[in-house]
Structure 1
Amino acid sequence: MSDQTRRRVLAGVGGGTAAALLGGTPVLAGSERRQGGGGLAALQVAHMSPDAPNVDVYLGGQAVLTDVPFQTVSNFLPLAPGSYQLQVTPAGESPDQAVVDTMIDLAGRAYTAIATGEVADQNRPFYPLVHPVQMAPLGQDMARIRLFHLAPDAPRVDVVPQGGDPLFTGLGYSQYRTAEVPAGDYTLDVQPAGGGDPVTSFDISLNAGWIYSGYVIGYVEPGNAPADVNLNLVTTVDGGTPTGMSGGGGGGS
């Protein structure tokens, strides 16, 4: 399927119902997976393409997640290490209508596969990212945050806690950085790289012992974008050994 046809297929599908995220270990055909070594791998899937419809996700030709809407992050799916065929289709379509069809290599660790970019390809092409999750133990009273820049029309940015030093600098689209910080409540200013007035700010609570991911999504200028989605921060708890009360989250302002 050509890139132009892929965009037409996605653009022609309307929004769906709430996500039905499937857990458990998928049973995959041997011809679709090449075994690797080590312990189990784990894969979560995040839909962060602002103008894409709900999607289904296939591994090795079998549906593992269905009707996944924008701003959704799945649970981790346990998998044997190896190489897998990853396909993404508009919700309800078969794998031969895949708009993403690629092989991914998974070792014995945790990963996130992220649908990024735009169906309209106005600012960024629609494509998947696959990145590992750092699950190493944390120091006492510390939290870990992995932050992705997935706002298609935003420039490189610095992320600066109010009243503190920059946490991440020069973060470009589709890039991410990871940092360990003292547990607590933060207001993060997102500003043009090198300084300037914040484009937006997010409140986030990080609990001791927890490992988080944050996804900056949406548009700086939603009125000129293919989807009317304001800048927002989606946060997830990916793992860890919590030592505080449950919590964590974020919102745009």
Structure 2
Amino acid sequence: MQRNGTTRRGVLTVAGGALAALAGCSNTDGQGGTPTETATESDGLGPMTETDQPTETEHRTDTPPAGDAMLRVAHLAPDAPNVDVAVDDTAVLTDVPFEAVSDYRSLTAGEHRITVTPTGGSSAVFDDTVTLEPGPQTAVAIGEVSGDDQDFTMTLLTDDETTAEAGSTRVRAVHAIPDAPAVDVTAGETVIADGAAFGQAGDYVSVPADTGAIELRPDSMTDDEDPVATFSVDPTDMAAHTVFAAGYLDPGADQPGARLVVATDAEADGMGTPSGTETGETATPTGGL
């Protein structure tokens, strides 16, 4: 089997006082409406049923100026309310629900102030200046406002626009399930992430474009433990994707179960950085970790 290491990419952590503010505004199910981008149409992202297959969203075809940063935001904190996101005090996303990932937005490389506020609230739960490098990046909200299993955290990932050869696709896995220990993420005989701890991202790995499922397994030396969850996928040929394992393996009342959120990082047509994502199939875990 192919083996692949993991890389810790978490760089931004919400302070304890901010957690209290978010908890005070939290709803119980972590679900909500469709995120709305300021002065643009909605992304059209929302939870899918068990029988749904991931469907591609429309992608931008414009090319950002050379040297600019491209930033998108992913809400993968399963017990958090919908949120609004501002960059340099300008609202860019509103009413973003759990498991939604925004379009990329073009920003100048360098320092930017990012503010995250519960929708309808007045107190920011994240307010910090981050340094963005040229190229695409994803700011990911993970963890829990309750802090029962994992603290609420904002993590910045560097995305890769490199596409795959014909007949294959490149996939990177991110562990965002708060109640799961380290896991192996596999696609058939290919190991996408080996022993990934919560908040860790694997490297991009090539898998066949006709891959139909991604498995979540207990961490082991042989990467072949029985899956605890299996997610149906339909990757795009010659593209690159990030798959976020999210939700709860053992959800309580009104908590979202385990699911895969699939983001397209690069298209094969060379038409610029893609701007949307889709939510993956919700899976019923088949065992405990």
Q: What TM-score does the superposition give when structure 1 sets the normalisation length?
A: 0.83
Q: What are the within-5 Å matches in structure 2 for residues 4-153 of structure 1?
A: 4=17, 6-14=19-27, 17-22=33-38, 39-94=67-122, 97-153=123-179
In structure 1, what residue type is equivalent to 2:67?
Answer: G
Which of 200, 204, 209 in structure 1 is aligned with 2:233?
Answer: 204
Count matched residues: 233
Deviations 1:2-24 (A, max 9, x none): 62463244333446543212377
Query: For 1:121, what is the secondary structure of its paired residue?
Result: coil
Question: Separation in 1 of the partners of 2:159 and 2:72?
Answer: 10
Could you tell me whether the CA contact under 8 Å between 1:117 and 1:127 is conserved in 2?
A: yes
Question: Separation in 2 of the partners of 1:149 and 1:4?
Answer: 25
Kindly indicate whether residue 249 of structure 2 is the aligned counterpart of residue 236 of structure 1. no
Deviates more, 1:67-76 or 1:227-236: 227-236
Which structure has more relative contact order (CA 8 Å, sep 6+)? It is 2
Query: Residues 87 and 191 (structure 1 numbering): CA distance in 2 closer, same or farther, change over 3 Å?
Result: same
Question: Separation in 1 of the partners of 2:192 and 2:160?
Answer: 17
Question: Separation in 2 of the partners of 1:88 and 1:43?
Answer: 14
Could you tell me whether the CA contact under 8 Å between 1:42 and 1:76 is conserved in 2?
A: yes
Could you tell me whether the CA contact under 8 Å between 2:75 and 2:141 is conserved in 1?
A: yes
Question: Separation in 2 of the partners of 1:63 and 1:89?
Answer: 10
Could you tell me whether the CA contact under 8 Å between 2:18 and 2:126 is conserved in 1?
A: no
- Alpha-carbon offset, residue 158 of structure 1: 0.8
Deviations 1:220-250 (A, max 9, x none): 1113x8x62111101122222249xxx9873
Query: Residues 165 and 127 (structure 1 numbering): CA distance in 2 closer, same or farther, change over 3 Å?
Result: closer
Query: Residues 249 and 87 (structure 1 numbering): CA distance in 2 closer, same or farther, change over 3 Å?
Result: closer
Query: Residues 49 and 138 (structure 1 numbering): CA distance in 2 closer, same or farther, change over 3 Å?
Result: same
Structure 2: tracts of 5 or more residues without a match: 1-13, 41-64, 271-276, 285-289
In structure 2, what residue type is equivalent to 1:182?
Answer: P
Question: Separation in 2 of the partners of 1:4 and 1:82?
Answer: 27
In structure 2, what residue type is equivalent to 1:169?
Answer: D
Query: For 1:6, what is the secondary structure of its paired residue?
Result: helix
Query: Residues 137 and 12 (structure 1 numbering): CA distance in 2 closer, same or farther, change over 3 Å?
Result: closer
- Alpha-carbon offset, residue 48 of structure 1: 0.3
Which of 129, 138, 156 in structure 1 is aligned with 2:182?
Answer: 156
Deviations 1:40-61 (A, max 9, x none): 1100000000000000111112
Question: Separation in 2 of the partners of 1:88 and 1:189?
Answer: 32
Deviations 1:13-40 (A, max 9, x none): 446543212377xxxxxxxxxxxx9611
Query: Residues 80 and 165 (structure 1 numbering): CA distance in 2 closer, same or farther, change over 3 Å?
Result: closer
Q: What TM-score does the superposition give when structure 2 sets the normalisation length?
A: 0.73
Question: Separation in 2 of the partners of 1:231 and 1:130?
Answer: 22
Question: Separation in 1 of the partners of 2:280 and 2:182?
Answer: 21
Question: Separation in 1 of the partners of 2:39 and 2:180?
Answer: 34
Question: Separation in 2 of the partners of 1:150 and 1:132?
Answer: 16
Query: For 2:92, what is the secondary structure of its paired residue?
Result: strand
